Amino acid sequence: MIFRKHHRVLVQGLTGKQGSFWAEKMMGQGTRIVAGVNPKRAGETHLGVPLFASAREAARAQPFDVAVMFIPPAAARDAALDAIDAGAGLLVVLTEHIPAHDVMAMHRAAARSGTRIVGPNTAGLVTPGEGFVGIMPGHNPNIFRPGRIGVISRSGSLGTLVCLNLTRAGLGQSAFLGIGGDPMIGTTTRDALQALDKDLGTDAVVMVGEIGGAMEEKAAEYAAGMEKPVVAFIAGRASPPGKKMGHAGAIVTGSAGGYPAKRAALEAAGITVVDTPSQLTETLAGRLSATQPRAMAAT
């Protein structure tokens, strides 16, 4: 789930405007893009990358570990199934507004094959100093720099703000995991938290959640047993019940998925929850300074 520089990447939709723009940025940061997909241009190259008619054909000539989709909603299901059938270990689904029955088909196929899906409606993955996959500004040193703070976010824009503040504070990031804002996503907050907890390069975690669903509550169950400090911000505190606020997953029905329940669950697990994103960096620094003396005493 954490992107690494040795990962080989297939870009579906490489020749489109967005695919081309972001592929250049990714390669500039060390991402190994080994193949692209465009059925109409198979046999050609684009940005120095060979093009194939399908992910399955690409896999036979240029084996890959990660596939990233710059694909419109109507074609997303077929593209995802193609990448899954081709053996992608990780599929990054940037597309939003994919029909629900298509998303369910994608998740069923991924579960059968062992492919991990990040998204739909994710901004992608960034590991500063190694590379990135998706539409996060992983090429901008003012936002991302190598560090030891893991960041999890449903929202790409809020995740960018948090990483900007961390970089300005001199902390930097070990990895950014954008899990996506749709109701049916493949990688949950708990999955991402567990990955960062096991990562030796991560000392602490910032979690950016949203109202709706129960992902933060389930993440809290795992966080209760963590030694690494976790600081969280939950967006949507003032949102009215029953209204969809931005992301399709950010909808509250009755008390389920509401801000008070999420905050209570996180704080009960020992996670510090702040009121505004601007408070995350200072709060995190305080949590880190409190844990370092204990770590030094244990060595």
Q: CB under 8 Å to 93, separation ≥6 — which residues?
A: 69, 76, 80, 106, 117, 118, 119, 120, 121, 122, 180, 186
Ramachandran bin of 254, using left for φ above 0, alpha for ψ from -120 to 50, beta for the remaining angles: left
Helical ranges in 143-279 per DSSP H: 156-168, 189-198, 215-223, 259-268
**Contact (CB, 8 A) for 34 and 61:** no
Candidate list 46, 97, 139, 247, residue with the active-site label: 247
Both structure tokens of 135: 């539409």
Which amino acid is located at 65 in the chain? Answer: D
Residue 139: active-site member = no
| Cα–Cα dist 181/24, whole Å | 25
Catalytic (active-site) positions: 247
